[in-house]
Amino acid sequence: MNRQVAHNDVAATMQAIGVRARAAAPALALASSDAKNRALVAMADAVDAGAGAILSANALDMEAGRAAQLSAAALDRLKLDAARIAAIGEGIRAVAALPDPVGQVIAAWDRPNGLRIERVRTPLGVIGVIFESRPNVTADAGVLCLKAGNPVILRGGSDSRHSSRAIHACLAKGLAQAGLPADAIQIVPTADRIAVGEMLKGLDGNLDVIVPRGGRGLVERVQREARVPVFAHLEGICHVYVDASADLAMAKRIVVNSKMRRTGVCGAAETLLIDRAGADRLARPLLSALADSGCAIRASEDLRAMFPASEPASEADWKTEYLAPIISAKLVDGVDGAIEHIERWSSHHTEAIVAQDAAAVARFFLHIDSAILLHNASTQFADGGEFGMGAEIGIATGRMHARGPVGVEQLTSFKYLVRGDGQTRP
């Protein structure tokens, strides 16, 4: 088969997937909360009951991954075990327990002419999720989209294809048991990269939004090439600013937790900013606490003078997402210095201030335009589950439609329902 024929085949497959997703939309939009929740519970049961099959599929992926000499980190992302499979089932049940967003009245008001206006949530449309090695994204994305009444097209990485298909088979069982359309959750059957290109072009208008889940390379390509809206963050260059007014013990806990709880997540802190006015009291204990927890420190010159067990920071450090036990650190002139540094270097994902001074906090909250700002709490709370959204399909740093954790509500649109008793417009 020559290259062009293969290309046309994949393109045709993808167009057909788009058409089927769009066709499934009305039934899904009208599906009762009860039907959706029955499907979700049946999916969770199928995942629990199918753990053996999922593990066998995952063993194939792991074997291929080792043969392809994937990194240890990639293999860890790929790996499933009994606990991780149990967590997938629990995650699905948590989504079943969430309130149904579809049909919720977001706002309602009356007009002087007697018209009653309601703004009511509706599904958003067909969602495309393009992900890499984590097979659990199959379930996370599939069930969140279902809860919000949206058909979803899942395109996983080739590394995890056996695992993803085994999980998808469980989701399909749940849809069938509840009488919901099989095309509500489709998985792209080919590892061909042309499939991604077709999704980025929007499948002839049958794809409404794309959510990329994976490394910087993937997200960059999607943001650059997609002709449909994208919910994503390219990176999480998150900051913790410790004000001169901070409680030292609290600051130590928050700084160490923000950086070291898990260094590979997008909400992990990458830069520590310390108020110059409090440096004598704060700098050494904070940096010592980080070093004691196993974190390497790259510090500005003035800070290195106070803590010699650090490397010099270069400008590149202020824009680096380490995703590793490394932190950049700098002295700044109070909250205004922190704001200046953050507005220049941040990826507008998540920033925290540790302070007792309410005026400093108010300034930080007002002047910084990031998706999530925290006062006296760890940046690692940047997570849909921690926000009480039940689950998330990702975290967005754009300002359009969704920002911060993307949960079921962010996967909806709305329409206006207006009730009158014969009103005409003068």
Q: Take residue 389 and report the two structure tokens written for it.
A: 């959204």
| Total of chain residues touching its own copies, rule CB under 8 A | 58
260 touches 322 (CB < 8 A): no
Tell me if 319 contacts its own copies by CB under 8 A: no
Q: Tally the C-alpha atoms within 13 A of residue 335's C-alpha that lie toward its C-beta.
A: 22
Q: Which of 93, 221, 253, 281 binds its own copies (CB under 8 A)?
A: 253
Tell me if 414 contacts its own copies by CB under 8 A: yes
Q: Take residue 127 and report the two structure tokens written for it.
A: 């969602």
Tell me if 63 contacts its own copies by CB under 8 A: no
Q: How far is the CB of 360 from its own copies (least distance, A)?
A: 13
Tell me if 237 contacts its own copies by CB under 8 A: no
164 touches 154 (CB < 8 A): yes
Count of CB atoms situated within 10 Å of the CB of 414: 15
Q: Which of 117, 176, 218, 306 binds its own copies (CB under 8 A)?
A: 117
> Which range binds its own copies by CB under 8 A, 51-59, 122-130, 213-221, 232-240?
122-130
Tell me if 115 contacts its own copies by CB under 8 A: yes
Nearer to its own copies, 121 or 276 (CB): 121
> Which range binds its own copies by CB under 8 A, 88-96, 121-129, 199-207, 275-283?
121-129
Nearer to its own copies, 32 or 314 (CB): 32
Nearer to its own copies, 71 or 424 (CB): 424
Phi-psi region of 401 (alpha: psi -120 to 50; beta: other; left: phi over 0): left
- Most distant CA atoms of the chain, gap in Å: 78
Q: How far is the CB of 35 from its own copies (least distance, A)?
A: 15
Q: Which of 109, 308, 315, 344 binds its own copies (CB under 8 A)?
A: 109
Q: Take residue 124 and report the two structure tokens written for it.
A: 């958003």
**Strand ranges across the sheet with 326-332:** 311-312, 296-299, 326-332, 269-275, 238-242, 350-354
Place of tokens 């997938």: 88
End-to-end Cα, the chain, rounded Å = 67
Tell me if 344 contacts its own copies by CB under 8 A: no
Q: Which of 15, 177, 288, 376 binds its own copies (CB under 8 A)?
A: 376
- H/E stretch holding 9: helix 3-30
Q: What is the contact mask toward its own copies in residues 13 to 52, using x (rule: CB under 8 A)?
A: -------------x--xx----------------------
Rounded distance, CA 302 to CA 276, Å? 10
Nearer to its own copies, 167 or 374 (CB): 374
Q: Take residue 262 and report the two structure tokens written for it.
A: 């898990």
For residue 140, which of 26, 23, 226, 43 has the smallest C-alpha distance? 43
Binding site for its own copies (CB under 8 A): 26, 29-30, 109, 111, 115, 117, 122, 124-125, 208-209, 229, 247, 250, 253-254, 256-258, 261, 343, 365-367, 369-378, 380-381, 386-388, 399-401, 403-404, 413-425
